[in-house]
Structure 1
Amino acid sequence: MNPRTKSQDIRDLSQNDIRELVAELGQPAFRAKQLIEWVFEKNVCSFDDMTNLPKAFREQLKEAFAFDTPTELTKQVSKDGSRKYLLEYHDGVSVETVGMPRRNKLSVCVSTQAGCGMGCAFCATGLNGLKRSLTAQEIVDQVLHVSNDFGERATSVVFMGQGEPFANYDEVLKALRILNDPDGIGIGARHLTVSTSGVIPGIRKFADIPEQFTLAVSLHSAIQSTRNKLMPGVKKYTLFRLHEALQLYTEKTGRRPTYEYAMIEGVNDTNPEMQALCDFCEGTLCHVNLIQLNDIEGSPLKPSPIHKVEDLQRRLESRGIETTIRNSRGNDIDAACGQLKQRFKVQKNA
């Protein structure tokens, strides 16, 4: 597919830039305040939606600027109400994002990179490697796209889609602050969660920021040799050093990190693996999310049976460790990261 032509996105301008622009176009100063409200507070994605601006002024803006929002290539809708999207940006790269409605709330799972360079054995995203990192606005645009499609405001966002967020730290933090801004999208800090595969420098920096954003760590094994095979991209960040960094994080912030543990039959659901996880967590401030691995077509890795998941939950809770079995959403669609993109590519080339 040919990349779309990129026009300058008006959202790349600062508020001072907009004030200067309005003056250059011969508009009264109060028009700058109106334009700033539309762009930064109401988060519209079309000049036509700026209904209190004169039509002639809107046409001037259209000639010079654009809202370079992603194009929806395809969408899947699950029977549980979840919707998964494949979105394409101006240069032809595409990412997946997911909207998950539940009891008058809408959670959005966003990608932070197009592709991924971490090479996790159980993830479809890394099959084609890393294309590039996303800008903060490109990350935020995923949330806006889902909100517009559902016709409701997003109440929480998880940075758990494609890519390693801490490999794109500055843009991810900027996106978090845009989403959290009370004069803009206004999502509470504790409802904004970043999931890392265990990039320790990112965890240490995240511990120093003032906002109470939530941290999740994809753990998947507390035995070094197993984790190295499952997650080769973080092999240099050993479990011992990771444990130290997480202890530092909790001491500095007082916040409870979540450990994501995708259970894989015969790999990380054995007695030694369960024991190691309990030992890693015991005595620390943490919450463990147990997940049955998404069954990816063609992968030799299969999800653990539910009785093993429940057994591990009992073991953890007996050691005083808060544990939840997370129900997978969208099991009847391409739920795992990268699956929808792979399927779309196959269908397109068929």
Structure 2
Amino acid sequence: MGDGHVVDLKAFSEVQLAAFFKTLKEPAFRAKQFLLRVYTKKAVSIDDITEFSLPLREHLKGISFISSLQTVKRLESTDGTRKYLFALTDGQTVESVLIEDDERLTLCVSSQVGCAMGCRFCLTATGGFKRNLKAHEICDQILSVSRDIEPERKITNIVLMGMGEPLSNYEEVTHALKIMTGWLNISKRRITLSTAGLVPELERLYSDGFRVNPAISLNATTDDLRSIIMPVNRKYNLKTLLSACRRLPIPERRRITFEYVLLKGVNDSPDDAVRLVKLLKGIRAKVNLIPFNEFDGANYKRPSDAAVLEFQEIVAQGHISVFIRKSKGRDILAACGQLKAGY
């Protein structure tokens, strides 16, 4: 830092920013002024940081910059869902999805460019893994969409369910969570983090104090099947994953969400539903059933509405809260499992 190279100020942590300003013989509180202006007041350029003197701003423009995502394309579904394609500074692209549901406005953000998990029902997995997103690139998705919709609307909920496995990018994702719950003033109760089941990182998340809402991508009731459609199960099987879920210090009035993508003739039978009830016994659980969202080249089919309703009924009879997820944005490939940063 401060070695003559042009640096991205947004890429620094608060501690690193304070050290950077120290090299300029500026007080450490400049870091807080910068973060307040960038994340709370959504500044996009050094000129916007009016807390800094004009000479300081002019000097900073010669040695640094503030990065931001470039909106390559924005698509809007017939149901009002919006999908954004963002370009990063290195030319890679990611997608975010804005979903309106009654009073809630939920933004689904990405944590990686691509994904290495290899889940066979997910379009993102077909593109392979490119790289992790930095914390500011994760949060920039929130800032960019906020600029697009404000002042008329405000994002109410964040779900880390976009491209990538959040827990395999642990350090940057947790740094992003600190920014969200701090400078962006988003309640941890309104943030959900989805994982395919990286058990050590899931347990670490809670031991490190990040009490956001967990969502576990389950999708099968036997190890044999889950290992086929979700390779992560070969390392952390159902028993290991669900034992970890039972140990999580979930607040009394909250539950763990289990996501279950229903694949026709694969995991949607009444026997599967019965096994799911048994697997979740003793866990304060909520189940989201997601009828498979088809895409070109997919190896699976969407089950019939009757099969989905029968599955839901069996799980409900097991005294588990179970909902059928509305798959919004399917016509623009913005539904669950359909993101792939390109058109």
Instruction: Using structure 1 for the length normalisation, give the TM-score.
Output: 0.87
> Could you say which residue in structure 1 is the equivalent of 2:170?
169
Amino acid in the other structure paired with 2:98? G
CA deviations on 1:225-270 (whole Å, 9 max, x unpaired) are: 11111111332211111111111115x6544210001111111111
Structure 1 partner of 2:60: 61
Query: Residue 81 of structure 1 aligns with which residue?
Result: 80
The answer to whether residue 144 in structure 2 is matched with residue 145 in structure 1 is yes
Q: Report if aligned partners of 2:133, 2:172 keep a CA contact under 8 Å in 1.
A: yes
Instruction: Give, as a single letter, the amino acid of the residue that structure 1 aligns with 2:277.
Output: C
1:284–1:337 distance in 2 versus 1, CA, 3 Å: closer
- 16, 19, 28: which is aligned to 1:17? 19
| 1:79-100 deviation line (CA, Å, top 9, x unaligned) | 2222111212122221111112
> 1:60/1:103 Cα in 2 relative to 1: closer, same or farther (>3 Å)?
farther
- Change in Cα spacing, 1:79 to 1:62, as seen in structure 2 (3 Å) is farther
Residue 303 of structure 1 aligns with an amino acid whose one-letter code is R
Letter paired with 1:99? L
Map 1:131-142; keep pairs closer than 5 Å. Answer: 131-142=130-141
Tell me the distance in 2 between the aligned counterparts of 1:219 and 1:328: 18
Once the 2 structures are TM-superposed, how far is the Cα of residue 291 of structure 1 from its aligned partner?
Answer: 1.0
Q: Provide the C-alpha distance between the structure 2 equivalents of 1:111 and 1:7, rounded to a whole number of angstroms.
A: 27
Counterpart amino acid of residue 229 in structure 2: L
Match of 2:294 in 1: 295
5 Å-filtered alignment, 1:95-110, equals 95-110=94-109
Q: Tell me how far apart the structure 2 counterparts of residues 135 and 264 of structure 1 sit (CA, whole Å).
A: 33
Which residue identity lines up with residue 304 of structure 1 in the other structure? P
Deviation at 1:343?
4.9
Kept after mapping to 2: 8 A contact 1:9/1:66:
yes
- Tell me: CA distance 1:170–1:30, structure 2 relative to 1, closer, same or farther (3 Å): closer
Identity among equivalent positions (%) equals 37
Instruction: Give a deviation string over 1:272-319, Cα, whole Å, max 9, x none.
Output: 212211211233211100111111112121111122222122111111
SS class of match (1:315):
helix
Q: Which residue in the other structure is 1:328 paired with?
A: 327
- Structure 1 residues 66 and 199: alpha-carbon distance in aligned structure 2, compared to 1, 3 A threshold: same
**Whole-angstrom distance in 2 between the partners of 1:105 and 1:9:** 33
1-structure distance, mates of 2:298, 2:160: 24
- The answer as to whether partners of 2:223 and 2:233 remain within 8 angstroms in 1 is no
- Amino acid aligned to 1:312: F
* 1:332 counterpart SS class: helix
- Superposition deviation, residue 199 in structure 1: 0.9
Q: Distance in 2 between matches of 1:58 and 1:287?
A: 50
Q: Contact 2:113–2:130 at 8 Å: present in 1 too?
A: yes
Contact kept, 8 Å, 2:39 with 2:143, in 1: the verdict is no
User: Structure 2 CA distance, aligned partners of 1:169 and 1:70?
Assistant: 21
1:27-61 deviation line (CA, Å, top 9, x unaligned): x9997765453135434222343356555543332
> Residues 57 and 102 (structure 1 numbering): CA distance in 2 closer, same or farther, change over 3 Å?
farther
SS of alignment partner, residue 225 of structure 2 = helix
What residue is the counterpart of 2:156 in the other structure?
155
**2:89 matches 1:90:** yes
Give me the whole-angstrom Cα distance separating, in 2, the residues matched to 1:266 and 1:321.
23
The 2-side partners of 1:343 and 1:117 are apart by 17
Deviation at residue 320 of structure 1 after TM alignment? 0.8
| Secondary structure of the structure 1 residue equivalent to 2:258 | strand
Offset at residue 172 of structure 1 (A): 1.0
Q: CA deviation at 1:170?
A: 1.5
Residues 121, 230 of structure 1: 8 Å contact kept: yes
Give CA-to-partner distance per residue, 1:128-149, whole Å, 9 cap, x none.
2111111111111111111111
1:122 and 2:124 aligned: no
- For 1:70, the equivalent position in structure 2 comes to 69
Amino acid at match of 1:98: V
| Between 158-167 and 232-241, the greater mean CA deviation after superposition | 232-241
- Aligned partner of residue 279 in structure 2, secondary structure: helix
Find the counterpart in structure 2 of residue 49 from structure 1: 48
Which stretch shifts more, 230-239 or 329-338?
329-338
RMSD of aligned Cα (Å): 2.5
* 1:3 alignment partner in structure 2: none
**2:114 touches 2:340 (CA, 8 Å); kept in 1?**
no
What's the offset of the Cα at 1:67? Answer: 1.5
Q: Does 1:283 align with 2:282?
A: yes
Closer/same/farther in 2, CA of residues 36 and 70 from structure 1, 3 Å limit: closer
Contact 2:18 2:29 in 1 (8 A): no
Residue 301 of structure 2 aligns to a residue in which SS? coil
Number of aligned residue pairs: 333
Q: Could you tell me how far apart the structure 2 residues matched to 1:206 and 1:59 are?
A: 41
Aligned mates of 2:309, 2:268 — CA distance in 1: 11
